[in-house]
Amino acid sequence: MRLVPVPEPTSAALKAFLTEQARALGFSSVGVAALDGVTQHDRLRTFLDEGRHGDMEWMATTADRRADPRVLWPEARTAIIVGHSYAPDSDPMAALSDPERGMISVYAQGRDYHDVLKGKIKTLAASFARKSGADVKVFVDTAPLMEKPLAQLAGVGWQGKHTNLVSREHGSWLFLGAILTTAELPPDAPESDHCGSCTRCLDACPTRAFPAPYQLDARRCLAYLSIEYRGHISEEFRAPMGNRIFGCDDCLAVCPWNKFAEVSREAKYAATAATAAPRSPKFWRSTMPRFASALRAPRSSAPAAIASCATR
């Protein structure tokens, strides 16, 4: 009996396999971008030269790798971008008018998304590597990779005027992760900008953190001030901070594209009774020491640490 060799899967077949596996794992979106010629030098350099990164010096020290994924890994040929919806089941702005409650950003109200997303992406990457024989590397905020521009190139969404990714299916509520691979796959068409003349996200910002559409000055951003910044918040921003404890969702929550977003199917992202606008006085009296400690924690673990404070 003569054995007939099994043909290697074509790039189109590999992409179809990838998409099928991603959907089976519960990912909301998956897209593919070729890495040839992908650079973000100009936009990133302007952001850094203007000092808009504040005291996030790690952004400046990793600028070359951040601007070009091929500097990070020269052998990579393709970026696989996955999105995982964390759309809330209620209006995240509702508690802003209640001074007795504190606001925690939607993304930090459930389990730490780094852990949830990375487990799923590792499973997807392993399946793809076995099928393709290609090398893979997984990223979920674990390296200087600019996921949002890559997501736009991969057709997952576009960077809106608030600089965050927007999806026509999932609004502003998408966690992103990436797989870089040495395999060459047919790229998806880049997503075009669908913001139109809308400026709701810019108008909603209580500190005017957007110098212009598609530009952010992190030094004025309440999310940066309550999560990344380690100094004292200046008086200018204390009243706008209001009852926000961790993060700010204002520019995300007002996006009209959110009306198409279904509530996230991932139960691990759901808010608990303790994290969905906890009562402020009780929260601060019982958790101030742990909260201060959590703010000093590594950035990747800070959301989980804050959430754990609220549950004790």
Amino acid of residue 139 = F
Q: Which of 168, 151, 295 is nearest to 305 (CA)?
A: 295
> Which pair of structure tokens corresponds to residue 242?
């209001």
Residue type for position 246: F
Chain-centre distance of CA 91, in angstroms? 19
Q: Provide the CA 29 distance to its chain's centre, in angstroms.
A: 13
CA–CA distance, 156 with 45 (Å, rounded to integer):
24
Six-digit token pair at 57? 């010096």
Q: Which of 141, 193, 249, 250 is catalytic?
A: 141
- The first and second tokens of residue 65, run together, are 């790798």
Which strand (E) or helix (H) includes residue 139?
A: strand 136-139
Tokens linked to 139:
């990223």
Q: Clarify whether 49 is annotated catalytic.
A: no
Per the listing, tokens 């909301």 go with: 28
β-partners of residue 86 are: none
Which residues are identified as catalytic? Answer: 141
